[in-house]
Chains A and B, each alone.
Chain A
Amino acid sequence: MEVEPTPPLAAEILLDARGLHKTYRGGGEELRVLRGADLQLRKGDFVALLGNSGSGKSTFLQCLGLLDHVEEGEILFGGREISRLGEGDRADLRLRSIGFVFQFHHLIPELTALENVLLPSSLAGRRDKAWALELLRLVGLEDKVARYPWQLSGGESQRVAIARALVNRPTLLLTDEATGNLDRPRAQEIVDIFAKINQNFGTTILSVTHDEGLALKYGRRLRLKDGIVGEWTGD
């Protein structure tokens, strides 16, 4: 007797993006970046998204992170449709549930590393200095908490940005070429930190990268091509 595989429980699905479409218009031209992109992420997933330059990886991630809007399709987050939310609700989700790390750290230069990390928790009204220090320790900067971003190296600044993205304990962390500006060893360190976060806190992580070598460190690899997300086969 054949046993059918048990379908994943709905509760296990953290993010379910269905049929996302996005087109850029300008100069009389249209660029269809997303053409019905689908993606399912389960809680605790550690996923790399690969693709050529200009393939729309960042746009896709920004739409998932509610930094941009999709034209068609829906995004379910924890079972709740979020792509059509108003600006206030989108901002609240970005603040409390979805962490985002850009290629550039975008730290506030006049605030110390610790103050930068604390900022989102202050925004959320739940400032937790001990947790911020713990995160800085996790990213290996416990001895540089009082430094300003301009006193840190690029890799160190990026690590502060990661700690900042995690301070409100998001269930989903999206990273957009977070290692793009770093040399190979520093980039490896950052991905190792992501892996540690994924393992220690169970945070679901989706990282956009063009570096196939780094992508091998992830538990699952996807590819965006022609506006559609598929499994990365290594070709």
Chain B
Amino acid sequence: MGAFSRDWWRLSWVWLVDPAHRSPPGRQVLFRSSIRVAALSLMLGVGALSLTLSIFSGFYRTWSQGVADALGHVVIDTDWRTRAELRDLVTHFPRGVQRVETFWNSQGLLVGKDGGRGVLIEGRGELAAADAAPSESTPDVQLKLGAPLAEYLGVEAGGTVRLLLPGVIERAVEARISDLVRYGMYDVDSRYALVDDASFAAWASVHDPEVFARRPGDARGLRVFFDPAVIDPLDVEKVEAWRTGFRAAIQDTEWSFETTTRTWREQRKNAFGGMDLDRQLLTIVIGLLTIVAAFNVVASLVVLFTERDREMATLVGLGLSRGAFTLWTGTLGLIMGFFSSLAGIFVGWGLGRLLQMSPLGALPAKVYNVERLPLAFVWTEQLSILGFGTLCAWLAAVILGWSLARMDILRVLGHRG
């Protein structure tokens, strides 16, 4: 039609909105109702998709942040190395690093007043700290525990547990719980036992000098934490770019030891892989529902064309070409699809907020370790949903328009028997 002229928009508007003052008295309101139902249907479909993905993104973000903060944004594994060697390694880091911690880990046993549990004990220390030296005092070994683990052992912050590290030290350590942490992922929180390396080295220098002499503050590798202002640790591509830069930097360096690097995602590969799979499956299922909802837009356009078939045929008779007709129906579908989808995203957002505030938004902490329903409206995701809903409606309307453009106008106008 004449390049989207004023009359074109007027006619589209009139037919979509069907204002009462323009309609002949007694005209059926079937179309007006059906178009509202169709728009509502698409809106709810898109709203469901939007809400589901934002809940998924919320969990994903919460858990990702928790895992990344607990385990380090990137881990560099070596065999046991001295601090000097590890500091040399750090000089090859690309920019963006805020903090580096040394770590070692070993299978161990924690015993509290309610019971014991075998866990992977990890010792952490600041790389920047001075090299450990024999200590004369015997401070408590400081230990951070995941809240679910502490609950299982029957201990609280400030209390003590017995720590056994067979193969590392021969005697049991009475460790004081300095803090309880909750990163939101049960897998991590229920086995999280972090020994402060400095306090452990000081303890070992007094109670197990042989062990201390063997490894005075050595570590098995580094946990690297980024400055969020420079590198968003959850931005997988940026983290990957950092790792690539690091590998390139050490490529030509003659090391006497091997290093391997793992990102936070790779440290919990199975969990995040499972989450990705769940997200994909749900996206497909709700995406299909959205397509069905989009076809409601087409159903309403069918009503539009059947209720106004004579007017449509008149337009074709007047010289509206098939291409222009298809363009027109496509544009009507596009407009309906866009605004219904946009409304759907607002509905999804609003429902999400309501859910968060309502009792339904309270999650069983023992299952999820997240107290409230996490929501993250990722704009790229929401834009994709908006595009998806609009595209579905547009495509369906174009297909419909293309087939309707072949109408027998004389039959529709009642001039052919």
Contact = CB atoms under 8 A, between A and B. Distances in A.
Interface of A: 58, 62, 67-68, 87-88, 91-96, 100, 102, 104, 106-111, 115, 118-127, 148-150, 164, 176
A96 B3 CA distance: 16
Nearest to B8: A122
Given A62-B415, A88-B322, A127-B6, A109 B317 contact: no
A122 B6 contact: yes
Contact of A94 (B3, B15, B311, B317): B317
Interface string B260-272: 0000000000000
A105 to B, nearest CB: 9
Contacts of B167: none
B5 A67 contact: no
B319 A123 contact: yes
B363 interface: no
A87 B415 contact: no
Contact of A123 (B1, B10, B15, B23): B1
B2 interface: yes
A62 B319 CA distance: 14
Given A122-B2, A122-B8, A91 B14 contact: no
B5 A109 contact: no
Contact of A102 (B3, B6, B23, B415): B415
A123 B327 CA distance: 13
B321 A106 contact: no
Given A67-B409, A91-B320, A122-B2, 14 more contacts: A62-B415, A68-B410, A88-B323, A106-B313, A110-B19, A111-B11, A119-B7, A122-B6, A124-B2, A127-B2, A127-B5, A148-B22, A150-B24, A176-B415
* Best-surrounded residue of B7, B14, B15 (most CB of chain A within 10 A): B7
Contacts of A96: 319
B316 interface: yes
Contacts of B7: 115, 118-119, 122, 127
A95 B24 contact: no
B279 interface: no
Main secondary structure of the interface of B (DSSP, over half): helix
B416 to A, nearest CB: 8
14 contacts: A67-B317, A68-B410, A87-B322, A88-B321, A92-B321, A102-B413, A106-B314, A109-B311, A110-B11, A115-B7, A115-B10, A121-B2, A123-B2, A125-B5
Nearest to A93: B319
4 shortest A-B CB distances, which residue pairs? Answer: A95-B319, A122-B7, A150-B24, A125-B2
B22 A95 contact: no
* Best-surrounded residue of A62, A118, A119, A127 (most CB of chain B within 10 A): A119
Contact of B11 (A68, A108, A120): A108
B36 interface: no
Contacts of A149: 24
* Best-surrounded residue of B24, B314, B409 (most CB of chain A within 10 A): B314
* Best-surrounded residue of A68, A95, A110, A121 (most CB of chain B within 10 A): A110
Given A58-B415, A123-B1, A148-B24, A95 B318 contact: yes
Nearest to B9: A122
Nearest to A107: B314
A123 B5 CA distance: 8
Contacts of B372: none
Contacts of A108: 11, 311, 314
A127 B413 CA distance: 26
Contact of A91 (B10, B19, B25, B322): B322
B207 interface: no
A151 to B, nearest CB: 9
B318 A123 contact: yes
B191 interface: no
Contacts of B413: 102, 104, 106
A109 B11 contact: no
Contacts of B22: 109-111, 148
A126 B5 CA distance: 9
B15 A110 contact: yes
B24 A122 contact: no
B395 to A, nearest CB: 23
